[in-house]
Amino acid sequence: MSVDGWHTLLVLGGIRSGKSEFAESLVADAPTVRYVATAPAGDPEDTEWATRLAAHRARRPGSWTTEETAANPGRLVEVIAAAGPNETLLVDDLGGWVTVLLDPAHQPADDTATIAELAAAVRSSTARLVLVSPEVGLSLVPTTPLGRAFTDALGATNRAVADACDAVALVVAGQTAWLKPTTPAPAHAVPPAATSPEAAPSRAATPRTAAHQAAPAQAVPADLGAGDVTLPEVLTPAAAPVPARAASDEPGTGDWAAPTMALPMIATGLVIQPGMELPMPDDYTGPQAVDRLATLDIPGAGLGVLEQVVGFAAATQGTSTPRPWDAVRVLLIQGDHEGGASAGATPGESSRRARQARAGRGALARLAAENRAGLQIVEAPASAPMEERPALSADEVEAALRYGWRLAEQAADAGVQLLVLAACGAGAEAAAAAVLAATAGAEPPTVLGRVVTEQGEIDDAAWMVRCAAVRDALHRTRRSAREAKDVLAELGGGDIALATGVLLGATARKVPVLLDGPVGTAAAMVSRDLAGQARHWCLLPDHGGRPGVRLAADVLGLTPLVDLRLDLGEGATALAALPLLRSALTLAATLPVHPSLGGPDDEGDTGERTGTGDRIGGDDGRAEDEPDFAEPEPAGPGPTTVGADEPVFPGRRAD
C-alpha cells in the first residue's frame, strides 16, 4: 500500500476535495485497517453533519475496525505510539482532533506540547500510518477569535506532522499533488520478516517491516552517456542485513561483481557491438558441484532437476559449494508497443501495473517482498507500430542498450547476487514473437500465445490482429539486415532493447539472471549475437506455457526447471520458484557427506557438521563418539530405538 517509498503519509485537502477517498484508497489492500475517527459526535439535531459521518462509515470495509478518540485528544498519540509494525492506521482527520483539543472541556492545556507529542509519535511510529487533515491556510484570516485559534492550531499541527511524515500529498478537486518527495525510508505494502542486504532502514527509529526505496519510473534518456544519468532508485523490502561471507572463505565468491575486462569506450560512453568478449561461468566448478551432490547425506534419489540449479550457481559463483542468493534485485521494465502488437490490451494497463508495483501491491511486488528482493522499475521508450515503421531509431536502440547495461552495473556495485528480469507492456509478447521469427526462423502463429481478456476470455480476433502485425512487420523488413541492433530497431522495441543491455551488463559483471517470459527470452536471443557468453549466465525456472518462451529456451539451450504454468506477469513466476531454488542451494551447501563415504555418524554427535565433515559445537569434555545419554530399555512390547531415528518394532530385525 505504500506509494513511492513513504511509510507515514499526510494527506491534505480542502472541503470535498476527495482527500479522504484518496487516503482510503491507499490502504484498501491492507489485510486489516484500524480507522481512527477523531471528530466529535456533534449536535444530534444537525442532520447534515450526521449524514457526512454516515457516508464515511459506509465507505469503510467490514474488515476495518474503528476507534474513537474524540473524548480525549491525548488518546490519538497513545494509539499511534502503541501501534505495531504489522498494523495499518488511517487517521481521519486532524481537523476534528484540533477541534477537540481546543474544546473548553479540555482546557487549560498546553496545546503546543500536545501537538509536539503527536508529531513525535508519528515520527517514531513503526505502524503504517496515513493521516488526513484539512488545509485551511489558503483562506482569509478568520474574523473571530475562535476561528483564528482553530486555523492557527491546525496550521501548526499540519506543519509539525508534515515534517514528521515521509511524504505529504495535497488533494485539490480530486487531483493529487505530491508536496514532499519521498526519501529512502521504510514503506510497507507487504511486511516481510527480514531485511534485504541491499538496503537497511534509514531511520534511527525501530526498524519497520517492509521498506521500499522508491522513485517514479524513469524513461530511458536519449542522450545516455557513460555516467551522466541518474538511474531509478530501488524498492527494497527491509529488515536486518545478512552479513556477507568474506571473500577468503570460498574461492571465487569474493569477486562476483568485479569488473572483468576492458570494454571499448568512446566519448559518449560504452560501445556495445557484436563479438564482444565477455566472461564465461567457471567450466569446472559446475560439474564438480553436481558430482559432489552424490556424496551428500541425502535420502532418496536426491535433488532431481534442481541439480541444474546447483551446477548453475556453482559455475556462476566460481565454487563447488555455492551458497543461496541473498541479495536479489528485480528489474521491472515497462514499455508499450503501438499498433497491432497491442491488440486486445487494455489501454493504460501496463502503466497501472507499474504504479501498482511501486506502491508495493500486486503479485510481483508481494513476491519480491516475500523473497526479500529489491524492486527497480524502469520505463522503456514507447515503440512505434512495427508493421508500419521501425519500432525505435538507431540512436534510441543505443541509448536503451547502454541504459540497461548501467542498470546491471548499478546492481553489481550494490552487491546484488542475482537479477530477475521482469516486464509489463502492451504488445510485448507480439514484439518478442517478431524477434523470434527474425532470429530463429519461427512462424509467428506458432510462437504467439493466445490473447486473454480481463474477464478471462480468449480473444481470437485480437490474436489474429497481433499475428497480422508480426507478419506485416516481417514483410516490411524482409530485405533489412538481421544484425542484433537492426532487429531491435525494426522489431524489438524499447523494452527488449533495454533488457538486452541488462543481460550484457550482467554478463560483464558476472551476475546471473533469472529469465521469465517473452521479453527476457527475446532479449537473450538478441544478446547472443552481441556476446555469445550472455546466455550462459541465464537460468529459466519455467516457460509459463508460452510457446515463444519454449522455442527460445530450446534455441538458447536453457532447460526450464519446473512447469507451474503460472500466469502472474513476467517475473512473478521466477520469484514464485525462487524459494525452491534457494532451498536446493541451501541443502547442497549445508548437508554433510554420507557416513558411508567418511561423513559424520549422527549417533551420539551433538555438534553440527559442515559439508566437509568438520564438527562444530557439542564440545562438553566427552569424546565425540560418546552418546549424550543411555537410551532406557522399553518396559514392554513396543518400538525399540536402535539409532537416532530408526524405531524397530517387535518381530522386525534391526538390520
290 with 311: CB under 8 angstroms? yes
For residue 147, what pLDDT is reported? Answer: 85
For residue 642, what pLDDT is reported? Answer: 42
For residue 80, what pLDDT is reported? Answer: 92
Give the DSSP H/E element, type plus range, for residue 585. Answer: helix 572-590
Mean pLDDT to the nearest integer, 360-386: 90
| CA distance to 97, 106, 109, 497, per residue, from 114 (Å) | 11, 12, 8, 56
pLDDT digit string (tens) for 452-472? Answer: 877 778 889 999 999 999 999
Taking Cα atoms as reference points, which of 123, 89, 126 lies closest to residue 1?
89
pLDDT band at 277 (very low <50, low <70, confident <90, very high): confident
Taking Cα atoms as reference points, which of 573, 588, 116 lies closest to residue 325?
588
Under DSSP, is residue 526 helix (H, G, I), strand (E, B) or coil? Answer: helix
pLDDT at 23 > cutoff 80? yes
For residue 266, what pLDDT is reported? Answer: 37
Residue owning grid cell 543461496? 324
Task: Tell me which of 78, 570, 603, 626 is the catalytic residue.
Answer: 570
pLDDT at 247 > cutoff 50? no
pLDDT at 251 > cutoff 50? no
pLDDT at 332 > cutoff 60? yes
Instruction: Kindly state the cell numbers that stand for 419.
Output: 537479477
80 with 125: CB under 8 angstroms? yes
Provide the residue count of the chain: 655
For residue 356, what pLDDT is reported? Answer: 87
pLDDT band at 118 (very low <50, low <70, confident <90, very high): very high
pLDDT at 70 > cutoff 70? yes
pLDDT at 217 > cutoff 70? no
pLDDT at 599 > cutoff 90? no
For residue 221, what pLDDT is reported? Answer: 57
For residue 186, what pLDDT is reported? Answer: 36
Residue owning grid cell 565454487? 319
CA 537 to chain centre: 21
For residue 265, what pLDDT is reported? Answer: 40
Q: Is 570 designated active site?
A: yes
Instruction: Kindly state the cell numbers that stand for 635.
Output: 518396559
For residue 429, what pLDDT is reported? Answer: 92
More confident residue, 138 or 353: 353
Taking Cα atoms as reference points, which of 572, 529, 315 lies closest to residue 401?
529
For residue 236, what pLDDT is reported? Answer: 55
pLDDT digit string (tens) for 281-291? Answer: 988 888 888 88
Q: Which of 44-53, 194-203, 353-362, 484-493 has the highest mean pLDDT?
A: 484-493
pLDDT at 592 > cutoff 70? yes
Taking Cα atoms as reference points, which of 258, 273, 409, 270 lies closest to residue 329?
409
Give the percent of the chain with pLDDT over 70.
76
Mean pLDDT to the nearest integer, 421-436: 92
Residue owning grid cell 548437508? 591
pLDDT at 263 > cutoff 70? no
Question: Rounded to two decimals, what is the model's pTM?
Answer: 0.57
pLDDT digit string (tens) for 173-189? Answer: 888 888 886 443 333 33
142 CB contacts (<8 Å, ≥6 apart)? 148, 150, 151
Q: Which of 36-45, 358-367, 608-617 has the lowest mean pLDDT?
A: 608-617
For residue 211, what pLDDT is reported? Answer: 34
pLDDT at 201 > cutoff 80? no
Taking Cα atoms as reference points, which of 216, 437, 415, 225 lies closest to residue 327?
415
For residue 185, what pLDDT is reported? Answer: 38
Residue 452 phi, psi dihedral angles, 5° rounding = -110, 130
149 with 102: CB under 8 angstroms? yes
Distance CA 321, CA 251 (A): 9
Q: What angle do CA 624, 628, 631 make, to 5 degrees?
A: 130
pLDDT at 193 > cutoff 60? no
What rounded mean pLDDT belongs to the chain? Answer: 78
Q: Which of 53-62, 411-420, 439-448, 607-616 has the lowest mean pLDDT?
A: 607-616
Give the percent of the chain with pLDDT over 90.
32
pLDDT band at 208 (very low <50, low <70, confident <90, very high): very low
pLDDT at 394 > cutoff 60? yes
pLDDT band at 233 (very low <50, low <70, confident <90, very high): low
Taking Cα atoms as reference points, which of 350, 371, 558, 342 lies closest to residue 451?
342
pLDDT at 601 > cutoff 60? yes
Q: What angle do CA 95, 96, 100 make, to 5 degrees?
A: 120
pLDDT digit string (tens) for 317-327? Answer: 998 889 999 99
Mean pLDDT to the nearest integer, 420-436: 92
Distance CA 32, CA 136 (A): 31
